[in-house]
Amino acid sequence: AQTVTQSQPEMSVQEAETVTLSCTYDTSESNYYLFWYKQPPSRQMILVIRQEAYKQQNATENRFSVNFQKAAKSFSLKISDSQLGDTAMYFCAFMKHGSGNTPLVFGKGTRLSVIA
């Protein structure tokens, strides 16, 4: 079974600074997807970024980028130029690819606070 570990329960960052959230996962699969979801106080789950394991290039979405290290099974999220609206819970998630795939497996989350 796949597991996802987020070792930082809480983090804080000053507005306009950069912060990196850690995520590691355990799997024997070679083909899979990794995700970061954001959950603000409204509790809506919002997709931040997605990475295909077969792609070597790290995914980026505006101020959000990932550092995907397949061999180390590490998938960290970097938020640049942090904004107050980035305050939220961030969940790392894993999905196996292919027929008979299992749906998302989530980590426990990291609570990020952006401080003015």
Q: Interface residues with another protein (CB under 8 A)?
A: 33, 35, 37, 42-47, 50, 91, 95, 97-98, 101-104, 106-109
Distance CA 54, CA 46 (A): 24
> Which C-beta is closer to another protein: that of 30 or that of 44?
44
Considering the complex, what minimum distance in angstroms separates the CB of residue 71 from another protein? 23
Both tokens of 61, joined, read 């979405």
Considering the complex, what minimum distance in angstroms separates the CB of residue 97 from another protein? 5
20 and 78 Cβ atoms separated by less than 8 Å:
yes
> Which C-beta is closer to another protein: that of 33 or that of 64?
33
93 and 107 Cβ atoms separated by less than 8 Å:
yes
Distance CA 31, CA 46 (A): 24
> Which C-beta is closer to another protein: that of 82 or that of 112?
112
Considering the complex, what minimum distance in angstroms separates the CB of residue 116 from another protein? 27
Q: What are phi and psi of 112, to 5 degrees?
A: -105, 130
